[in-house]
Every structure is written in structure tokens, then in C-alpha cells.
Amino acid sequence: MKSKKSSFIFNKFFLILCAVAVTVLFLGVQNNLQNSPVEAASRVMKVLQLIEKKHVNAPEREKLINGAIEGMMDQLDPHSTFINKEDYQETNESMDGEFEGIGVQFSIIDDYITVISPIIDGPAYKAGIQSGDQIVKIDGESAYKIKTPDVLKKLKGPKGTEVTVTISRKGNDLFDRILIRDKIALNSVSAHFMIDQNIGYIKLNKFSRKTVEEFNEAFYELKNSGMENLLLDLRNNPGGLLDQAIDLLDMFISSNDTLLFTKGKMRSANTVFKATYSRFDENLPIITIINRGSASASEIISGTLQDLDRGLVIGETSFGKGSVQQHYDLDNETAVRVTVAKYHTPSGRSIQRDYNKGEGDYYDNLIISNRELSDSLKKELPQFKTKGGRTVYGGGGIHPDIYFKDTLSLSDPAVDIIYNPKQYLFNYSELLKRDYANLEYEILVSKAHKEISFENFINWIKTDTDFKAKDINIEELNQDWENIKHRIIAEIVNKFWGRDYYYKSLIINDKTAQEALKYFDEAKTLLN
């Protein structure tokens, strides 16, 4: 016997198809009943009934219908997708910029929940939970070998509810903390700080409903600290809400220029977004850093600033996701996102990269070690002109004004160490952190640079039984030691000074960011 819920979903799905069919027929767009949406719905229904009646082990109707919807989405483009019940809440939380829980960033290390960082002002932070703490029990039940989805189920929950966690901390006996769940902000601004006396830095990790609000706060704090130049870091920013990207751009454009336009099948999808007024200093030079992980809204920001000569773009060619998805709820637990239009920057460039060779090729292209085109090949791309007459290129993604290969240039041994699931750098920083407690930031960084040695790190990592020294080229790893050491120091800094200082310590050895700092005079000339 099928549940009322499953029947409701099917009936709703069928009614949607029928309604579409009636509309289409009424408009006279489709008069061939054999290929009409009504006929399509009838065929789907026949197959469903056949499976339920004949299949030896037919799954629940809901699974079959979800599978049919997923199949339809797979025939479209890489960004049209079905959002199932498991992902629905997480998707909404990501866009809302908040969730309800205890507020910790964590990773499963050695089969235990390990706190990477408590979120500032969250319940865990207020209860004194620290980076490196292990959560060994949740409400008295062992958390050993727990899976990430189960962690989220147990630690998230309605605001005001209680959860008891048992903490293991080095040098201490096990202890309990009763945490009252609360709203936790998922910040769009990962970090903001002054690099020097006049250069401010803001890192945006996504575009959610509170992005502009957060950016405002960060911007004015830096402005009040003497900022005369802005380094905007959009690397690995996957995008998000279009309206937030438009509102952010509007802050920096004082003229009535076009910021973006979209083209789609529906009239409502053809939209031109115009600047209204500038809320910030229109003479502030901006350099934007992007890489192959910068997509969608982050490409709109970088491409528009580039087209309007509002600043320079430095880094790698961006992802090339220049399409608009409309979110449609199917019920209170599932939804679809359908691509309805494509973005175009003010000069007329389409951001969207070609996906006609299939989804596999579309994503595999991103791991090619060098996606940048030579100057001769680049000239074969569609060419456009910026507001000031500079040549920029279309053909998918945003091509930077100044190409600079990002941190993907790390050697394979370094990548194996830095991104190892066992979190080697984090664990090593845990071992060292007691030597750097109660130190001022500058003193901590200076002391750590002098004391942390490659030899000691290698000797430590060899004690891990899972680490096969013979499989790691120690000599090649040594060439990337400065990068690895900076990351270890950043982990130590994070424990005592938080995420802003974590990123500030990384900037010192961030070759792309350091290269970007050289071009503010050139960025300033564009404003004139």
C-alpha cells in the first residue's frame, strides 16, 4: 500500500504535466497529440503502473518519480538539477546564509568528530569548545566512526533545544558541555583585513541573502582603517544569488551603465540590469582575483568590473558558468532548478562555457593543468571592447587582464600532504600550538617561521602508520616546504586569532595575491 504522501507527489506531478499540456494546446503551440505533454504524462503513467504491477522488487513510487525527474534534468544542461529531500534543507540554508545548530566547523579525523574551528559567537564557541577538540559522544551515545550526515542530524536542530556533547581534549579528562542550539550565520565574507596601511582585503566565499549586508560592514571597517585600494578575492567562489551580485556591483558604479543582461526563451528571462548610484568611493582602485573555481555570480562581478574599466582582474580564467537557474518547489521537500537564460556582461560577452560535448568533458576541462590560451589562440576567440576601449575575450569564463597561475602549481607530494583526509597540517599545528599560546600575532608568526622545520615535520609524519614515505618524493616535497609551512602557521594562528588572521597569514605566501599588489597603480589609471 502506497503512502498518501507518495500518491500526492505523483498526482501533483501528473497534474503539472497536464496543466502544461492544456496551456500549450490552448496557445496553439503544439497540436500533435502524439508528442504533446499530455501524451508524455500518459506514457510516464503507463510505465509507472507497469513497474508497480510487474517488477519483482519495485521501489516506492516516490523513488520512481524522483528518478524520472532526475532523468529529465540529465537531458538538459550541467546546471539544471533535481533537488531531493535530503539536499532540500541544506540548499535553502546555504542561500539563507544561516542554519540552526551548535556552530562548529568539523572534520572526521581518525574516526572522531574533530573541531576545526568553532563559529564565533555560536553555542560551541560560547561554551569554550576549541579547535582540536574531539566530540566523542553526542547525548551519551558514542560518536566513534560516525558519518558526516549523521553528525549533521545529531548536532543540528531547532533553536532553543539542548544537546550534550562529550569532549576529549589533550591533557584533560573527558568532559561534557550542554549546548543550547541557536541560529548560526553562514558568512559570505570569509575574511577582511588591512594588508598594509592603505590596501584592504576582502574574501567572498559565496553570494547568499546577506552577502551585501556583510560586505558593507567589512568595507566600511576597512575604509575607516585607511583603505585606499581594495583587493577583492573571489577565488573558488561558486556564486549564488544574482540580486546580491547586482547590488554589490551597484556599490561601485556611479554611472547609469548596464551591469548585466540576460537572454532566455521567456520574455521575463530577458532582463537588463542598470546601475543606479555608487554608495562607495568611485575613485577606489579595485583588483579582483579569480581562478578556475570562480563561477556564476563571481564571474558577473569580475567580468562587469573589467568591462566597465572599474578595475583589473588577475589570476586564471574562471569556471565559465554563465547561466541563470530558476528554482521551482515541487512540494515542501523537493524542487528543481531549470536553466532559463544566459548571462552577458556589459560588453556583450557570454560567460557560459560550451557543454555540448557532455557533462564529463565540461567538468574534466577544469582539471587540465593549463587552461589558458596562448595569445595567438586567444585572438581566435570572440573579441569585445571595454568601456575605455580595451580588448577583452569571450568564449566561456572571464579571461583575466593579467594571467597568474594559482596554487594548483603545487607538486603532487605537496597536494597529497596538504589535502590529505587525515588533516596532517591541522594535526601538526595541534601538536605545536602550546608553544605559541598568549603571543601577539606578529610575534607568533615570526617565531613560528624560525622554529618550524622541514626535518621535524617529516620525522613526525613518518610516525603515521598509514603514511608511506617511500611513496612520497621527499626532495620534491621540500621544494614546496615554504608553502606547507605557511599553511601550518596559518592553522596555529586560527586557533588563537580566528579566520581573519588565518587568511592574513596565508596572504604573506600567496603568490597570486602578492602579484596582484603590484598593479594598483595600473588599476588607478583606468579610473582616469
pLDDT value, residue 461: 86
| Cα distances (Å, whole numbers) of residue 479 to 167, 369, 409, 449, 452 | 38, 19, 12, 16, 15
pLDDT tens digits along 334-375: 888 888 888 899 999 998 888 777 766 677 666 565 667 666
Predicted pLDDT of residue 214: 94
Mean pLDDT over 269-294 rounds to 87
- Per-residue confidence at 406, pLDDT binned at 50, 70, 90? confident
Rank 100-104, 389-393, 462-466 by mean pLDDT and report only the highest: 389-393
Of the residues 133, 250, 307, 510, only one is catalytic, namely 307
* Ordered domains of the chain (ranges, CATH): 4-75 (no CATH), 96-185 (2.30.42.10), 189-406 (3.90.226.10), 410-514 (no CATH)
Is residue 339 within 8 Å of residue 77, measured between CB atoms? yes
Can you give 35-58 as a three-state secondary structure string? HCHHHHHHHHHHHHHHHHHHCCCC
The reported pLDDT for the residue numbered 118 is: 81
CB neighbourhood size of 177 (10 A): 18
CB atoms within 10 A of CB 292: 22
Nearest to 461 by CA among 453, 528, 37, 345: 453
Predicted local confidence at residue 347, as pLDDT: 96
| CA distance linking residue 20 with residue 456, whole number of Å | 67
HSE toward the beta carbon, residue 352, CA cutoff 13 A: 18
Q: Which of 20-24, 433-437, 458-462 has the lowest mean pLDDT?
A: 20-24
Burial class (CB in 10 A: 0-12, 13-18, 19+), 45: middle
Q: How long a stretch of residues is the chain?
A: 528
- Active-site choice (154, 206, 321, 495): 321
> In angstroms, rounded to a whole number, what is the distance separating the alpha carbons of residues 513 and 288?
10
C-alpha 338/C-alpha 78 separation (Å) is 10
% residues pLDDT > 90 (the chain): 40
- pLDDT grade, residue 10 (50/70/90)? very low
> Would residue 296 show up in a list of annotated catalytic residues for this protein?
yes
321 is catalytic: yes
For the cut 80, the answer to whether the pLDDT of residue 24 exceeds it is no
Choosing from 117, 208, 294, 296, which is the catalytic residue? 296
Q: What are phi and psi of 369, to 5 degrees?
A: -60, -35
Locate 28 and state its grid cell: 496553439
Q: Give CA–CA dist 83/336, Å, rounded.
A: 6
Whose CA is closest to 299, among 367, 247, 236, 387? 236
CA distances from 302 to 249, 310, 384, 398, 443 (A): 9, 10, 15, 7, 36
CA–CA separation, 297 and 466 (whole Å):
41
Residue 96 has pLDDT above 60, yes or no: no
What confidence tier does 89 reach under pLDDT thresholds 50, 70, 90? low
The residue with greater pLDDT, 42 or 445, is 445
Helix count and strand count (H, E) for the chain: 20, 21
Is 196 one of the annotated active-site residues of the chain? Answer: no
| 190, containing H or E segment | strand 189-194
What local confidence, expressed as pLDDT, does residue 379 receive? 74
Report the pLDDT averaged over residues 88-113. 75
Per-residue model confidence (pLDDT) at position 98: 67
- Per-residue pLDDT at 326: 80
User: What pLDDT digit, counting tens, does each position of 241-257 carry?
Assistant: 889 999 999 999 988 89
Asked whether residue 22 carries a pLDDT value surpassing 70, the answer given is no
**pLDDT greater than 60 at residue 94:** no
pLDDT in the model for residue 467: 64
Q: Residue 89 contacts by C-beta under 8 Å, 6 or more apart in sequence?
A: none
pLDDT band per the 50, 70, 90 thresholds, residue 492:
very high
